[in-house]
Amino acid sequence: MKSKKYLLMGLLVCSVLGLAAHVSFAEETKATMETLETVSSESNAKTKETAKELDITPTFKLEKIKTTVGGKGLIEVEPLEGLKDLKGTFKVTVADTSILTVDKQGTWQGLKAGTTTAVLDFEWSEESLAKIQKKFPDTQLNQKSIAQEIPVEVTQADEKFVDITPEYNLKEIKAKIGETGQFTVKPMGGVSDLKGIFTAHISSGQAKDVLSVDADGKWTALKAGKTEFVLDYKVI
């Protein structure tokens, strides 16, 4: 009987020791997992902190184009983050290219009267992207899709008129027989050195032999009398 009692006590001790070993391993595993979780959390925080982004989507300086036939202009891009000398290529789609054209440099020209629309797009050059990246290192450059649509209106150009009605230096002539003089024309349209032909139109019923006027505007009193005439001047 004594031997059986000792054997039972030995089994109990072994069971207790096995349980203690199991608990110790579980605690060690849990501690290891907590350590890994902490390191992973710190790593994620560090990644979020360094992942900087910069929106480089171009914005344009105009909201519409309103011009006349033959009128020209330039589409401009707003400076980006203080960088003014950035370059790129315009990609503009005009619905009706018979009304307006736009080249790769952003220069537009009105061709004929009408209304249409233009979709503005712009792509930074590699050189400009390098300048931006240099100013903002460790920053991811992101450009959103822009495709900005603007209205276009081209009207007929107003005709400009220059008054070329001759204005002479004399309105009345009083002279003696044989006396001569000179008609001159005042500047027209800002031009003073004009060349032209003078013509004196004497209506019927008026004496045609009292005064003569040649093509250069020189007049000569021929005989005593009175007459009236209309002086004309044609620019050549």
Label the pairing between strands 65-68 and 148-155: parallel
Of 187, 110, 207, residue with least CA distance to 152:
110
CATH level 2 (architecture), domain 65-155: Sandwich (2.60)
| pLDDT value of position 147 | 73
Highest mean pLDDT: which of 33-47, 110-124, 127-141? 110-124
Tell me the pLDDT tens digit for each residue of 165-195. 888 888 899 999 999 999 999 888 778 888 8
Average per-residue pLDDT in the chain? 80
Each domain of the chain, given as residue ranges in start order, spans 2-50, 65-155, 180-235
Instruction: Determine which helix (DSSP H) or strand (DSSP E) holds 212, and give its type and residue range.
Output: strand 211-213
pLDDT at residue 145 in the model? 73
What is the predicted pLDDT for the residue at 19? 41
The percentage of the chain sitting over the pLDDT mark of 70, rounded to a whole number, equals 78
Q: What pLDDT does 42 receive?
A: 52
CB atoms within 10 A of CB 16: 10
125 or 27, greater pLDDT: 125
* Residue 25, pLDDT score: 45
**How far, in Å, CA of 121 to CA of 184, rounded?**
60
Amino acid of residue 178: G
Position 217 scores a pLDDT of 93
